[in-house]
Structure 1
Amino acid sequence: MIESLGGSLGSLRQVLDQLANWHERTADQTIDTTGDGDGGYRAAFDVAMQLWQAAIHVEQATDAVAAARDPAGRISWPPIRPATHTGGRAERSLAPPSLFGADTTRPDTAGISR
């Protein structure tokens, strides 16, 4: 499972790099919401920089997960034993019956306002 996580993080890193490259490559074709080309260029380049920063963080996480892979491979988990019931059905208590749909109302309990 740890190896799969590492692979997924590697794929995420690749997607972040591709998106960042696309934003940088097409920045000169953009405009911002007011129609300003310079503003669009700056915004697209800012997005590219943020995506590259995210890719760096994902790469660091990928390295940390890879470092955990070897020690995790040395772990042996004992089999899980199913829970055993100590008592029979008579020892289990049931919830009090509900008055939902009944013609009577539940008496007010002191200290609780409705």
Structure 2
Amino acid sequence: MIPAHDSPLAALAFNASGTLIATASEKGTVIRVFCVADGQKLYEFRRGMKRCASIWSLAFSADSLFLCASSNTETVHIFKLEDPKEANKVAEEPGTWMGYLGKALLSSAS
């Protein structure tokens, strides 16, 4: 059993290989991705702060690198599934505008 959310589920999806499961509750603000084998939470994404939205569907990309969520607010959110350590490496890469921006964002967050 995977304790995914405190409220009932509104949407869930498995990746193509069946190793990951994504869940969203009726509150519509948090999306979580778990490892099916051991139930470990791997990712947690916030779709927004307002609870007026309901997530209608979740879908993994064929390569499991992205997760897509659609809602009743006529929006689609696409989340990148990557190792947080790898994300920091890209953000800190010098000599690029993403490196500069990533460094600025990381320093303002700490």
Superposition TM-score, scaled by structure 1 size = 0.21
More helix by share: 1
Q: Report which structure shows greater RCO (CA 8 Å, sep ≥6).
A: 1
More strand by share: 2
